[in-house]
Amino acid sequence: MRNMPRVLVVEDEAAIAELIAVNLRHSGFSPTLVFDAEAARREVEAQVPDLILLDWMLPGESGVSLARSWRQQERTRAVPILMLTARTDEMDKIQGLDAGADDYITKPFSTKELLARIRAALRRRAPLTGDDAVTVGDLSLDTATYRVTFKGAELKVGPTEFKLLHYLMKHVERVHTRGTLLDRVWGDHVFIEERTVDVHIKRLREALGEAGAMIETVRGAGYRLSPAGLRQKQVKTADNPAA
C-alpha cells in the first residue's frame, strides 16, 4: 500500500483545521492537527512531516517565526511550508515568503485550490531526476548529494532555491523571464504569482553570498546566471576596497 504523505496542519481555528483535515484524508493525505506553536514544535520534533500548512496568527508564537526557525534547522530545511492567513497585503506575503514559506494562501480559500497547491509543493520537493553535477566557475551543484559549494565551501540552500539554481546553472548566460522560471522550476504556476520568483531570487542570492553576484537582473526581461557578474563585482571591490 502506498504511503500517504504526512501533512501537519497548524491552525488555531478548530473548524477550519477539521475541514482541511477531512479534505486531506479524502485526497490521500495523512493529516495531523495542532492548534498552537508549542504543539507544532513538539510534533515536528517527534516526526518531520512531508508538508506543513501553517497559520500566520497562532497562540504563543507567529507562524512566520515558526517558519523562520524550521528553515534554519537541517532536519526541517527542505520541508515545504504553505502559509495560511487572512492577511492579503503584498508586504505581508513577501514577509511570509522571506521567512521561508514556499507558498502563501489567503483566507478564505477553496479546498480545490489548497489541494492543488499542496500537490504542486510536493512535486517541487521531489528529487531531481538522475545524478547530475554542474559547475560554473567556482560554483558547483550536485543533485546526487544535494550539495552546493563555492570555492570548496558548502552553502546552505533551500529546496526551491536549489532547483532554481540548478536550472539557472544548466542554462548559463541565458535570460529567463519570471514566467519561464515559474514554468520550468515550479512546474505548475497556475496559482503562483510572478512576484514569488523575485522573492526566491533574493533568498538564493543571500544563500550564495559572494557567488550571488552571478545572478544578474536583466531590466525588463528577467534573470540570468553569468560568471561575468561575479568578475565585475570583484573588479569593483579591488578598485574600491571600501565599497
Neighbour tally for 44: CB within 10 Å: 21
Residue 63 sits at the vertex; the CA angle it makes with 59 and 66, to the nearest 5 degrees, is 105
**E strand or H helix at 51:** strand 51-55
Structural domain 6-125, CATH architecture: 3-Layer(aba) Sandwich (3.40)
Which residue is it, cell 540548478?
Answer: 166
CATH of domain 133-239: 1.10.10.10
Length of the chain: 243
Neighbour tally for 22: CB within 10 Å: 12
**Residues 161, 198 contacting (CB under 8 angstroms):** no
User: Which runs of consecutive H residues, i.e. helices, occur in 87-226?
Assistant: 90-98, 111-125, 159-170, 178-181, 195-208
Question: How confident is the model over 184-197, as pLDDT tens digits?
Answer: 787 654 456 777 88
**Residues 37, 13 contacting (CB under 8 angstroms):** no
Question: How confident is the model over 24-46, as pLDDT tens digits?
Answer: 999 999 999 999 999 999 999 99
What phi and psi values does residue 153 have, to the nearest 5 degrees?
-95, 135
Residue type, 187: G
Q: Prior bond to 127 cis, omega within 30?
A: no
Can you tell me whether residue 84 is helix, strand or coil?
Answer: strand
| Domain residue limits, the chain | 6-125, 133-239
Is beta strand 139-142 parallel, antiparallel or unpaired with respect to 147-150?
antiparallel
Residues 6+ apart with CB under 8 A from 89: none
Q: Give the percent of the chain with pLDDT over 90.
A: 42
Can you tell me whether residue 211 is helix, strand or coil?
Answer: helix
Q: Mean pLDDT per 10-residue run, the chain (243 residues)?
A: 79 92 93 94 92 90 90 85 80 75 84 88 65 88 90 89 92 90 69 78 94 92 88 59 54
